[in-house]
Structure 1
Amino acid sequence: MASSLAPTGSGNKALSKAKIAKQDEFYTQLSDIENELRHYREQLHDKVVLCNCDDPYESNFFRYFALNFNALGLKKLIATCYDGSSVAGGRLPLLDIEGLKPEGKQPYAVEIINVPDVNGDGAIDLTDVELLLKSDGNVSHTLKGDAEYGAGDFRSAECVNFLKQADVVVTNPPFSLFREFIAHLITYNKKFLVVGNQNQVATDEIAALITNGDIWQGNYSGDMAFRVPDYYEPRNSRFWIDENGQKWRSLGTGCWYTNLDFAKRHEKLNLFKKYTPDDFPSYVNYDAIEVSRYTEIPVDYPDEMGIPVTAVSKLSPDQFEIVGFSGMLAKPMADLIPGQTGSGRFYLDLGGGEFKRMYDRVVVRNKTL
């Protein structure tokens, strides 16, 4: 992932402050990219792939696609970045960076239409990619930006032109701009596979897209570890420094968002538990039952059920209809019970005038009943 983005004018100083404040620079591991991309290989054949939040000389997304360019049968690979990576030449150098980047650390794009065996050793490796980038083929060029957005900003006119060329966008966008980034891709009707946070499903924009079947979660969700820049401050949890001095952060709710179909998405859950009112109480402020774990979805219940949003990736569209999310469906408690002020979440009645506020829920219906 590259950096958070800012318009021109206040420029790079404002951008640097934003990056530090929002801590948007999370660098995805190559193994995570490889494990996810193997589910979509056929859909990438003869396609133009765009990595539009990726410094090619630091990004594992660029590394994956450059090394697998021929194996995937790509038509073209484009990568753009806003500015030089804050870890450039430090902890994450994928190539020999000194003297390789165009005009130092200015924003730039790399366009590749083939990756030949430049060194003639019979295999495509990082040496071939490095020699290709150093060649006179003009695969790299700096970006200028426009009156509204800085050079390399995915919303700038230059980068929109790259987006129009692309068939599929694959990247790790800035978390603070995630909803705007997804909306941008939807506006241009692009296929995509991007890293995100499972908790994004609780936002109005992402919840609406998932409910409408416009996007869904990819194959993997759960723990994901990311390299982070040196300026990131230590945390009490999900932070460590490895033996090489590299700082790491992790998310327990990491995931992929996509509108590319894949086989595992159509695998149905094996349900076994029977419905009883005692095991599955109804919400006070919405007509649905509470299911605390997706593994306990009752096999015989035909109506609406609320389950944790972390289960979204487990829901086959062949088995379940997504009705919506608690943030869009929950009725204000004040409309139902005098003196209660809760809103935006489902509540359970514990008796004796006590109510339990639930975490975000996705509401589903079993389509097979």
Structure 2
Amino acid sequence: MRLTRKQRLEKSQKDKDDEYYTLFEDISAELQHYKEQLKGKRIICPCDWDESYNEEVVYKEESSIIQKELFSNEGTIKKIDILASKKKFEKDLEGVKCEFVKFFVANAEDYYIQSISVSGYSPNADKGVKFQNVDYSLYDVVITNPPFSLFGEFIDTMMNNNMEFIVIGPQNAITYKNCFKYIQENRMWIGNHYHLSGFRRPDGTVLPKSDNIPRSCCWFTNLDVEVRHSKIPLVEEYCGNESTYPNYYNYNAINVNKTNSIPYDYDGFMGVPITFLPKFNPDQFEIIGLGKYVDKIVETKGNELKILSNNGELKIPYERIIIRNKNPYKGE
């Protein structure tokens, strides 16, 4: 039997099959939106896999090799200070495996990045620095693709260290209790791209965009994202179309199946799909809670929101976020 997208992602986490390497085109497509916000920043890319533990690149000035390695060693964390060097080098990036490193070295001067650091950890050899042990006071922004099985802990680490971050994570991390709390408190949100174009595996094969894993991942950040300042156009009306928006059997809210179906004239609580979040504008809507964790839900088996269908059966819609329109249309 074919597994669903959610089941496949959960299986990969259970098996700790976390070695999905981000494609250069996905990194470039996302990070170009933060160019101004990255100026003068000290960036660290915590990497937890063998691939990024030992990176090397040749820097050349004219015909002389001036630096054989990409980074100067600072213990087990490696760093190159772009501003201090004040030089533009010819960079040989062919041997660099990590696409995050490749992108930042290739664009460091253009982005006016102060420094790039990598904390590498090799699980097989148990050497290097785990992301939990990095001294984040030395850096401004964390940018990486953390292990999916540790994503919740990774985000807690970012928050506990007051770090700015741009990271890739599983879409269903939205439903993790700790991650959703940060989203609800406007301390974290979805980045500019909700899906990825693919992933590269350790054996060199690429999972295409059509595969469930890339389609089930997105960017998370706490840097400003333009869409958070754009209002969702609301064209549907609740008054006169009440049957389109059934009330939940065990919670005082209506069910909305699609983001573009949110009615402009409803002032109560609404349950919307998690795909609402990439378009979420905190000035337009308030997030009340996650369906299965929301306060005052009438407990039923599984503690899920339920809809009473016409035949009397209780249906459970896919994961819902409870929201409220801050400025519903009240009529003339």
Q: Identify the TM-score tier after normalising by the shorter chain.
A: 0.7 to 0.9
Residues 1:154 and 2:131 aligned together: yes
Residues 1:69 and 2:108 aligned together: yes
The counterpart of 1:265, out of the listed 228, 237, 257, is 228
Does structure 2 retain, via aligned residues, the 8 Å contact 1:346–1:358? yes
Q: RMSD value over aligned CA atoms? A: 2.5
Question: How many correspondences in the alignment?
Answer: 268
- 1:252 and 1:231 mapped to 2: Cα distance? 19
Does structure 1 retain, via aligned residues, the 8 Å contact 2:234–2:264? yes
Does structure 1 retain, via aligned residues, the 8 Å contact 2:196–2:214? yes
The counterpart of 1:185, out of the listed 155, 158, 166, is 158
Q: Percent identity?
A: 36
Which aligned pairs between 1:59-98 and structure 2 lie closer than 5 A?
59-83=98-122
- 2:197 and 2:307 mapped to 1: Cα distance? 32
Does structure 2 retain, via aligned residues, the 8 Å contact 1:302–1:366? yes
- 1:292 and 1:255 mapped to 2: Cα distance? 21
- 1:19 and 1:358 mapped to 2: Cα distance? 24
Pair 1:19–1:80, CA change in 2 (3 A):
farther
Which aligned pairs between 1:230-241 and structure 2 lie closer than 5 A?
230=203, 239=207
Residue number in structure 2 paired with 1:367: 326
Residue number in structure 1 paired with 2:84: none
Residue number in structure 1 paired with 2:201: 228
Q: Any stretches of 5+ residues in structure 2 without a counterpart?
A: 1-11, 56-95
Q: CA deviation at 1:230?
A: 2.6
Secondary structure at 2:36 match in 1: helix
- 1:20 and 1:203 mapped to 2: Cα distance? 15
Residues 1:253 and 2:216 aligned together: yes
What stretches of structure 1 move > 4 A for 4+ residues in a row?
330-333
1:168-207, Cα deviation, whole Å (9 max, x unpaired): 0000000000000000010000000000122111111111
Residues 1:214 and 2:179 aligned together: no
Which aligned pairs between 1:74-153 and structure 2 lie closer than 5 A?
74-83=113-122, 151-153=128-130
The counterpart of 1:41, out of the listed 35, 39, 49, is 35
Q: CA deviation at 1:265?
A: 2.2
- 1:206 and 1:306 mapped to 2: Cα distance? 19
Q: Give 2:139's aligned amino acid.
A: A
- 2:39 and 2:291 mapped to 1: Cα distance? 39
Q: Any stretches of 5+ residues in structure 1 without a counterpart?
A: 1-17, 87-105, 108-149, 233-237, 241-247, 336-340
Residues 1:295 and 2:260 aligned together: yes
Secondary structure at 1:283 match in 2: coil
Normalised by the length of structure 1, the TM-score is: 0.67
